[in-house]
Structure 1
Amino acid sequence: MTTPMVAIKELRREYDAGPGPVTALDGVTVDLAAGTFTAVMGPSGSGKSTLLHCVAGLDRPTSGEVTIEGVRLGELDETGLTVLRRERIGFVFQAFNLISSLTAAQNVALPVRLAGRRIDPADVNAALDDVGLADRAHHRPVELSGGQQQRVAIARAMVTRPAVIFADEPTGALDNQTSRRVLELLRGLATGRGQTIVMVTHDPVAAAVADSVLLLADGRLVDRLDGASAEAIAARMTRAEATC
């Protein structure tokens, strides 16, 4: 049996709030194969972002286990987690998180430079070319459209060829046409490069681009839809919201 790229076992996350703890994740268990594109959906407060943050090593779960490419995150100290995130994980966020004073090329190179390594300019140019922005390498974020900024963020996430790319609402601030292009880029990373993509989204149309959709409700994994249409995903989401 092939070892999963991402293995999540009995993941639980509680937060201290008010008179007692609040359970954000309640025993989530799922395996994600290498080269797959997975969307995570659920009603507001279902635990989507908490799951992404725990699996990506941005937050520590209360209990349970996350393994990425054979590495158990719970066995790493903060330094180890930082190294893992820099070398094996890519991030794409709704807010782009580009540095305004840096050019597109400099933003793409930033993760490698923060890791204290030299980066070949050819790798930066290739990443920008892959997202259709080779001619915008010397433009700063203010000179780029929202869609172009998100594509720079994707180039930044992919330049180190990470094992997994985590995307948190990557199309939330974009119009429909630009969203489609961003989703096509993410789809291509999984299909063409064999990278594993995990995307949190509220949009059934975006989720339908993925291979599988994980549906959360009240911190629990309540369904997994494989190859579902946007209509089927929307209908299942409606049922989930009605029970919350």
Structure 2
Amino acid sequence: MDIVRLTAVSKTHGTGSGAVTALDKVTLGFPEGSFTAVMGASGSGKSTLLQCAAGLERPTAGTVSVAGTDLSRLRESALTRLRRETIGFIFQAYNLLPALTAEQNVGMPLRLAGHRPDPHAVRAALDAVGLADRARHRPAELSGGQQQRVAIARALVAAPRVLFADEPTGALDSASSRTVLGILRTLVTGHGQTIIMVTHDPVAAAHADRVVFLADGRVAGTLDHPDASTVAAHLTALDPATPPSAQAGGAAAFAKKEASC
């Protein structure tokens, strides 16, 4: 069953001669319990797709449904409530409050929703990302990778049915990236979490069940059970100006990077 479904979704910014089409009649489904990576060149529409799918932006045309609810039928207050109860977000910037401890940062979404954080739920979320022993540490006392893991715990604390991740490893070194991607993969395989991740990195995309490629606001192909070298080849093939030799070289480089992970 598709827990997130886009049907003929278009998104246009601006009007008249200055209008820019970010998404052009995109139809996509994201099955529950799956891990999907969304990739494409800058301007391909991948971030707009994530924002529309998560209810952060309303499409110009078409429909988006999350957990069986048509988002276009919701008022802003109901849409906000659905996001708080059903959706979790992870971004490249950790967005942690520097004056708060890890456990206080994790509990913040519950406080914003008007609930008193359950200490057991907060500790369970931190334990899920391997940071139960860092609960009382503030962001400045944590590495970048640890801060991103706190951000993942924060996204998990309300038990969302869908996690949207926008370049979650973009600011991390390779070792921290491996740890974060391993956590995301475990959430899917071990706990049935649904994850939709925008990334530019074929190695990151190789942790997903499926890769969706976008070009000029349209779906330009999909790849099931990806590996980094095949993802790299698909990305370079989307650019007709890229010579075959560069495609092969890029694929080999990503394969080497994946092997080192």
Post-superposition shift, 1:243?
Answer: 6.3
Q: Unpaired segments of 5 or more residues in structure 1?
A: none
Residue 221 of structure 1 corresponds to which residue in structure 2? Answer: 219
Residue 141 of structure 2 corresponds to which residue in structure 1? Answer: 143
Give the counterpart of 1:185 among 183, 186, 190: 183
Post-superposition shift, 1:100?
Answer: 1.1
Question: Structure 1-normalised TM-score?
Answer: 0.97
CA RMSD across the alignment: 1.3
- Tell me, what secondary structure is at the counterpart of 2:238? helix
Residue 79 of structure 1 corresponds to which residue in structure 2? Answer: 77
Residue 197 of structure 1 corresponds to which residue in structure 2? Answer: 195
Residue 29 of structure 2 corresponds to which residue in structure 1? Answer: 31
The 1:210–1:105 alpha-carbon spacing in structure 2 relative to 1, beyond 3 Å, is: same
Residue 8 of structure 1 corresponds to which residue in structure 2? Answer: 6
Letter in 2 for 1:87: E
Residue 40 of structure 2 corresponds to which residue in structure 1? Answer: 42
- Taking the aligned partners of 1:56 and 1:98, their CA distance within structure 2 comes to 21
Alignment of 1:33-112 (within 5 A): 33-112=31-110
Q: Unpaired segments of 5 or more residues in structure 2?
A: 243-261
- Taking the aligned partners of 2:187 and 2:133, their CA distance within structure 1 comes to 21
The 1:223–1:120 alpha-carbon spacing in structure 2 relative to 1, beyond 3 Å, is: same
- Taking the aligned partners of 1:10 and 1:233, their CA distance within structure 2 comes to 25
- Taking the aligned partners of 1:47 and 1:119, their CA distance within structure 2 comes to 36
Alignment of 1:110-149 (within 5 A): 110-149=108-147
- Tell me, what secondary structure is at the counterpart of 1:222? strand
Identity, in percent, stands at 61
Letter in 2 for 1:32: F
Per-residue CA deviation, residues 115-154 of structure 1 (Å, 9 max, x unaligned), is: 0112210110111111111111111111111000000000
Per-residue CA deviation, residues 100-127 of structure 1 (Å, 9 max, x unaligned), is: 1111001100111110112210110111
Post-superposition shift, 1:20?
Answer: 2.6
Q: How many corresponding residue pairs?
A: 242
- Determine which structure has more spread, i.e. the larger CA radius of gyration: 2
- Taking the aligned partners of 1:4 and 1:16, their CA distance within structure 2 comes to 31
Residue 240 of structure 1 corresponds to which residue in structure 2? Answer: 238
- Taking the aligned partners of 2:156 and 2:34, their CA distance within structure 1 comes to 15
Letter in 2 for 1:54: C
Residue 22 of structure 1 corresponds to which residue in structure 2? Answer: 20
Post-superposition shift, 1:17?
Answer: 6.4
- Tell me, what secondary structure is at the counterpart of 1:241? coil
- Taking the aligned partners of 2:52 and 2:120, their CA distance within structure 1 comes to 33
Letter in 2 for 1:140: R
Letter in 1 for 2:34: T
- Tell me, what secondary structure is at the counterpart of 2:220? strand
Post-superposition shift, 1:189?
Answer: 1.0
- Taking the aligned partners of 2:79 and 2:241, their CA distance within structure 1 comes to 37
- Tell me, what secondary structure is at the counterpart of 1:151? helix
Give the counterpart of 1:168 among 166, 178, 182: 166
Post-superposition shift, 1:18?
Answer: 7.8
